[in-house]
Structure 1
Amino acid sequence: MGAIDECGLATDPRQNPAVVWRNRALRLLDHVSMPIAVCEFGGRLLIANRAMAAEFGLLPGQLRNRRILEFFTLRDSATLPALAEAVRLHRRSRYPARVSWSPADGTRRHGEMTVDLVGDTPEETPSLLLSLSRVDAPAPAVPPADRRAEASPVEARILAAAARGATTAHIAREIGLTPDGVNYHLARLSRRWQVPNRTALVAHAYATGVLAAGTWPPEPARVATV
């Protein structure tokens, strides 16, 4: 039998070419400076690169079969419902999630985890491709009384199209994005405004002046900035 390396990959030279190619591809992740991991939809870690493992003073193989939420705390309550809805609708989209964690040095860090739903076919339950962007401190909280709805020009155009009842595919063609790009912007808005779905996003956009009141078809009220 061949040996097993620290990433949990077999090193037997008699492996078939597909397995050898897979193992080489996985090792390439160790040369990426961004922390990256792949886990099952239920949260069990399958793969982690050196940068991800190093956050916790571990080797990649030591993260295998652990639960991702053992290491990270979600700071967005809407993240898991959004992922579940994407799986139900067979979407392969990208979602941002604010997270916090305690690295090997014991300090508390905050950042954004980008979650991509990946799979060979739309019918199978996808895996989660996770990439971590680190920041030194959390963004300061905005007092509720001072909270203002903000949207970029692209986000305002997406909201106006959504208010007309346009599908994700139609919005993507109109704005010049991919459907995943549209879903990414909508997910960021849902997190920023703390609303659960597209209907609530449109209502919030009207209530806070992002979309012009009393006009049809809907249009942005002004050019907003993030």
Structure 2
Amino acid sequence: MPQVPRPRRGTSPSLPSGADARDAGERLSTARLDLALTIRQADERFFGRFGGSPETLCGRAFGELVHPGFQQALSGQFAGLVEGRRERFVTDIATVGPDGASRTVALTAVLVRGGAADEASIMVMLPGTGTERAEPAPEAADGPDGRMLSPVHARILEGIAAGLSTVPLADRLHLSRQGVDYHVASLLRKLQVPNRAALVSRAYAMGALRAGAWPPEVVRDFVRD
């Protein structure tokens, strides 16, 4: 189990915003996590994104700011950094803002090594507010009672929310890979989203996926008989 690094004595919980930050992009928000994925430092843009301050956000787990539907898959990505199997990753996640609304953004995470093993940390970077992908309203429901998902669509949505890719989804549902891709494309059109990450975010936002349930579960009211 990796040792959790402690913040250095006298270190401010706010990251500086000098030339390095400007070079990375004026609207980028950044935070530094320890290897337990606890927020240790962040810049003002990060605090503003989540409606917090150094006092309210530093010391919290970064995962608390991520939509529940993305937390398990993201933990696996971070484990690769902590265990030294990779140096960085970029992935789509849904963050939860101070208003409780979810926004799909691209997260970049980079392992930063210090002079000693216990100085290693993880830098996370998010695009500035205003660059998130908006979630448009889905198409009108197909069924007369407002149910918009077929049973196959529901099972595929649950699998995607659990982090399954095309091949394990095909095995689980006894479909070909082409069949899975066809149904996924249909779901993307139905919910008017560009990719699988946004699909999961949209499904949680509209209540089609039950909040707090694991494995992910589609609410039966959205499924046609």
TM-score by length of 1: 0.46
Query: 1 or 2 for the larger relative contact order (CA 8 Å, sep ≥6)?
Result: 2
| Larger Cα-atom Rg | 1
